[in-house]
Amino acid sequence: MKWFIYLYPKSWRRRYGTELIEVIKQTDMSFKTIFDLLLGVIDAWHIELREREIYGFRMSQVLALISLINVLIISKLISLREVILLEQIALIVAMLSFFLAIVVLIVNMFKVGIIPAFSIKTRLAKISVGLMGSYAIFFVTFLVLAN
């Protein structure tokens, strides 16, 4: 039953691992004990993931997906007519992303203040940075298509 400890997050194992091993040694192997351990694993991971700052990671995944879609669209272009339409779409999306990033930044400044708004500690700041990244990607796409 010691292998149950490896299902828990690493930080949890460092803090409570030896205690859990001692408790497992002293208890009998029953369905209720296994069920309680599995519920503990779920609870520990829930707390671990909630405590981590994963919004920036998710935003980077979105930006990577947007970049991949841009690369695929550019690589599949056939005629000049598609390039012109795609060029316009890229510019519109870039400007919309820029506008939304500025709006989110201003809302964040009113919500938490000017100095904290420019840090990456708030969720709105992370969203604003992500939108600026999206703007950069679509603007570069526009420039590539325009040339």
What's the domain range around 138?
Answer: 55-146
Measured between alpha carbons, how far is 19 from 35 in angstroms, rounded to an integer?
Answer: 18
Q: Answer yes or no: do 73 and 45 share one domain.
A: no
For residue 141, which of 57, 59, 66 has the smallest C-alpha distance?
66
Q: Answer yes or no: do 60 and 44 share one domain.
A: no
Q: Answer yes or no: do 6 and 72 share one domain.
A: no
Q: Answer yes or no: do 40 and 94 share one domain.
A: no
pLDDT digits (tens, 9 = 90+) for 25-69: 888 878 788 888 888 888 887 777 666 555 445 555 665 666 666
Q: Give ∠ CA 114-116-119 in degrees, rounded to 5.
A: 120
Query: How many Cβ atoms sit within 10 Å of the Cβ of residue 96?
Result: 14
Q: Answer yes or no: do 65 and 118 share one domain.
A: yes
HEC secondary structure over 29-46: CCHHHHHHHHHHHHHHHH
Number of domains the chain contains: 2
Q: Answer yes or no: do 69 and 124 share one domain.
A: yes
Q: Answer yes or no: do 60 and 42 share one domain.
A: no
Mean of per-residue pLDDT scores for the chain: 76
- Can you give the pLDDT at residue 73? 61
- Can you give the pLDDT at residue 74? 59
Measured between alpha carbons, how far is 48 from 29 in angstroms, rounded to an integer?
Answer: 27
- Can you give the pLDDT at residue 77? 55
Confidence of residue 94 (pLDDT cuts 50, 70, 90): confident
Q: Answer yes or no: do 42 and 88 share one domain.
A: no
Q: Answer yes or no: do 26 and 38 share one domain.
A: yes
For residue 134, which of 80, 59, 72 has the smallest C-alpha distance?
59
